[in-house]
Amino acid sequence: MKNRVHRTALISLAQGGLIAAMYFILTVAIQPAAFGAVQFRVSEMLTILPVFTPAAAPGLAVGCFLSNLFGLSTGANVAGAWDLLLGPMATLGAAFLTGWMRDWKLKGLPVWATLPPVLLNALVVGTELTAVYGGLPWAANVMSVAAGQLAACTVCGLILYTVLEKSGASRIFRFSLPRG
């Protein structure tokens, strides 16, 4: 029993690390589009992964932190140092909510589970951008971020979900810690 617990914990740690790495690579690959007032992070499609495994939550948060740190170091992340704290916190909170909503389906798809990262990031990043830019109204920044998040998290995320389910690849995420 003890070896099984250790094995499960190691698999969850590996899953989280792999998800963090994928998030970082996908963000850096399209760096100019991943930061700013109008942004589209293709890596945000990975926010659907908490539907499959709770290990995705810390993986997404770490990937977000590393991406924001990279963006800050290259000057692409205009939201500044606050984004190192607030971005990953929003991502972590959204990931837990996504996992919690995994069974709320619309025509067999976890559509509702894609909305926490859209809403939380729109509010958090929209507020950060308003503080940095100052020129655009808060609602405009929130709506701009929400549009990019909706495209990445909901549209791309549901495509990823469907591909993982139909191909059977979602089983690689099924070895994680039991859901509470």
**Residue 5: predicted pLDDT:** 66
pLDDT score recorded for residue 81? 84
Give Cα separations from 161 to 5, 50, 74, 156, 178 (angstroms): 28, 11, 32, 9, 20
CB under 8 Å to 122, separation ≥6 — which residues?
A: 142, 143, 145, 146, 149
The total of other beta-carbon atoms located within 10 Å of residue 70's CB is 17
What domains, with CATH codes, occur in the chain? 2-173 (1.10.1760.20)
Average pLDDT of span 125-139: 86
> Which pLDDT does position 80 carry in this prediction?
80
Confidence of residue 176 (pLDDT cuts 50, 70, 90): very low
25-52 pLDDT, tens digit each:
999 998 878 887 778 899 999 999 999 9
Q: Residue 180: what pLDDT? A: 46
pLDDT at 114: 97
User: Does the pTM exceed 0.85?
Assistant: yes
**What's residue 148's pLDDT?**
93
97: confidence class by pLDDT, cuts 50, 70, 90:
very high
